[in-house]
Structure 1
Amino acid sequence: MKGKMADLGYREFELEISYEGGKEYEAEIERNEKGAIEVKIEDELNGVEIEGKEAFKLLYPRLKEMAIKRKTPKRQAIRKALQAFHLPANYKKIEIEIMFKDGSKLEFEDKK
């Protein structure tokens, strides 16, 4: 997983989306205190909750497709995330947080 994360250029990634009816979608890749990668997907839209390598196998191609960079504008980043994760655009709230491998961060939040 570490090698593939380096390919993406991300150190950590988090996507949280809230929809009508209290449904949420969350995808997260983070490093714990020991530097190990922890991956989790909680998809209430489809009733899916997975962690670890299985979650990483689902997230990696989506993150690769998403290809958000430091200078990606907010609207474009949101559109890319929704498309890459095959999620509806009728969200109530969306948050995207990315820490790049150089330590810089990108954070977007939008509410409808």
Structure 2
Amino acid sequence: MVFTLTVSNDAGKSSDQVVININPGPTVDSITIEEASWKSGKGSGTLTVIASTNVASSQLFATDPDVDTIAMTSLGSGRFQALVSIRPSPVLVTITSSLGASVTVPVS
């Protein structure tokens, strides 16, 4: 944006300009959980997490106290999936985004 101030009187006229740069704030994203489930298998179990974000440039990550943070696999259109072999069944799973959103949900 450019502002110009002009002042005049009997002695003459003077003008000056000021340029103001506006920087947009950070992108705000949100996470929606479609599924957070655990199914028993041979010697282990599988934690399945499917989540989506409203910002296409975001990357989602899944974590649990017993699992290192893992990057979720993109399914396209802002949807992501994580399949993790784990035993016993986790109680909660936390999904975070590269843009700062986070949600913790119970595992069914």
**TM-score (norm. length: structure 2):** 0.29
Relative CO higher for 1 or 2, CA cutoff 8 Å, sep ≥ 6?
1
Structure with the larger helix share: 1
Structure with the larger strand share: 2
Determine which structure has more spread, i.e. the larger CA radius of gyration: 2
